Chain A
């Protein structure tokens, strides 16, 4: 077996197992950590596809930042697992129906008539100095520049919305103003008085 296949099967199996664990483990922190593992192994699979920019960005953005905040929240919350599981049987039919619909749709999109080797040839391996990052940057800022800009604007709106939703002004709260604290000089606060020594 070639080393590529060994690496592929190793990461593929761990991706599937950890993804299954995300929804089956009881502890929410463990579930979040399994999600991290799923992202990581997926990134390794993308790396095998020579998509190094996407693979590293997946680790950098999702594993390095998004999931850290997720874990942060999950660890702070006091989640009652028993109460979360109460409606399991009641919602099971809806869940199964949804899962089947999802599976059908994905199957339709990723089926043989779309992505079979006849309709889409395997990509040719690129030379060693081929930079995935450069190529992506070129198309992103020329052909797809409007879509890119629109995505950026939507994200900006979402950021502002999130901040304004959570911003509460509570009257009477005292805040420290660091720039004022920094501006304080010795002569504003301290007065050195010269006085004669008292005689005993």
Chain B
């Protein structure tokens, strides 16, 4: 990308090249690359919300949205325009700056995490060797948006939602981190591309077999981290109205919404990269490795998110804490010990 821009600049007349210093070319090329990843992401998010309403609709024997456009396909755009033109209401005595900055703080880390995601062997924006750590750090930043939104709204329900969310995210992040430690022990690298490539071979080499408990813990913790049902006590419509974003309207609400759905897609994508071999093909004789496999696997986990929401009732708050601290974390610690022994004695096809 940088080469393309450098060539473009070299064709400009000399006086115009003055306005394109190196750092500016760098900035432009990075912004364009980021947009190449983020714009499709926004479209996927838009249609994910549509899919959610349709899928849950069919699960509850309804049709779901079917009025806007053929089969309701333009519904996401209708929703988007509605949210864009709605008034942004700032509650009295709310902390104005923090109130407006909170959605950005929820949204920005959710986008930033996509920088290190590899889509196949070569298609990766930033191929850093501490990719897994970077993802963990970025996903742990998202909680600030929720906490600040809850506090700045000057509303009881919002503050309660923020408190619930903070405790929940801190609890589940530990289990999630431990599950990722298992992956990096098996993969021998923090680079996401290397982790996928170390699962090469056949389906039996994918990490979900030797790391099955960690795979389960990771996905459950992922659902909890994104505040989705059945762990959506931070929103809890029946208890605290809408939790941390009860005072938000219009575009500020839409930004929270975008961040949440981008995070759900990110968790689905990471689960398929880390445990299900990413772009590796399950049937190498039938069809080779392709980005389509990655999308298929990701799509499956995205469907699971919706399926959970239609199936499970919301957890009680103390049981969420119990599950996080007393079940998931011990499971990961025990399995890390087992895995450590397996790695030391080079067990099976996985740790050889």
A residues whose Cβ falls under 8 Å from a Cβ of B: 1-3, 6, 29, 33, 36, 52-53, 56-57, 59-60, 63-65, 68-69, 71-72, 75-76, 129, 131-133, 176, 178
Can you sample 27 A-B contacts with CB below 8 Å? A2-B23, A6-B23, A29-B151, A33-B148, A36-B144, A56-B134, A57-B133, A59-B140, A59-B141, A60-B133, A60-B137, A64-B137, A65-B140, A68-B144, A68-B147, A68-B170, A69-B166, A71-B151, A72-B166, A72-B167, A75-B151, A75-B162, A76-B163, A131-B130, A133-B130, A133-B133, A133-B190
When distances are taken between beta carbons in the complex, the residues of chain B under 8 Å from A131 are 129-130, 190
With A60-B140, A68-B147, A75-B151 known to touch, is A178 a contact of B133 (CB < 8 Å)? no
With A3-B22, A36-B144, A64-B140 known to touch, is A129 a contact of B129 (CB < 8 Å)? yes
Closest Cβ of chain B to A47, distance in Å, is 10
With A63-B141, A65-B140, A178-B322 known to touch, is A53 a contact of B133 (CB < 8 Å)? yes
Contact A56 B130 (CB under 8 A): yes
With A71-B166, A76-B163, A133-B190 known to touch, is A64 a contact of B130 (CB < 8 Å)? no
A154 to B47 CA separation, bound complex (whole angstroms): 51
In the complex, whether B169 has a CB less than 8 A from a CB of chain A is yes
Chain B interface secondary structure, helix, strand, loop or mixed?
Answer: helix
3 interchain residue pairs of minimum CB distance = A64-B140, A3-B23, A59-B137
Q: What 0/1 readout, one digit per residue, does chain B (209-246) give for beta carbons within 8 Å of chain A?
A: 00000000000000000000000000000000000000
A133 to B148 CA separation, bound complex (whole angstroms): 32
Which B-chain residue is minimally distant from A74 (CB atoms)?
A: B151
When distances are taken between beta carbons in the complex, the residues of chain B under 8 Å from A59 are 137, 140-141
- Which B residues, 101 to 143, have Cβ-Cβ distances below 8 Å to chain A? 128-130, 133-134, 136-137, 140-141, 143
When distances are taken between beta carbons in the complex, the residues of chain B under 8 Å from A52 are 128-130
When distances are taken between beta carbons in the complex, the residues of chain B under 8 Å from A178 are 319, 322
Count of chain B residues with a beta carbon within 8 Å of a chain A beta carbon: 30
Q: What 0/1 readout, one digit per residue, does chain B (180-217) give for beta carbons within 8 Å of chain A?
A: 00000000001000000000000000000000000000
When distances are taken between beta carbons in the complex, the residues of chain A under 8 Å from B167 are 72
Closest Cβ of chain A to B160, distance in Å, is 11
A68 to B137 CA separation, bound complex (whole angstroms): 13
Closest Cβ of chain A to B166, distance in Å, is 5
When distances are taken between beta carbons in the complex, the residues of chain A under 8 Å from B159 are 75
Partner of A53, one of B130, B141, B144: B130
In the complex, whether B173 has a CB less than 8 A from a CB of chain A is yes
When distances are taken between beta carbons in the complex, the residues of chain B under 8 Å from A133 are 129-130, 133, 190
When distances are taken between beta carbons in the complex, the residues of chain A under 8 Å from B318 are 176
Closest Cβ of chain A to B259, distance in Å, is 16
When distances are taken between beta carbons in the complex, the residues of chain B under 8 Å from A56 are 130, 133-134, 136-137
Which B-chain residue is minimally distant from A64 (CB atoms)?
A: B140
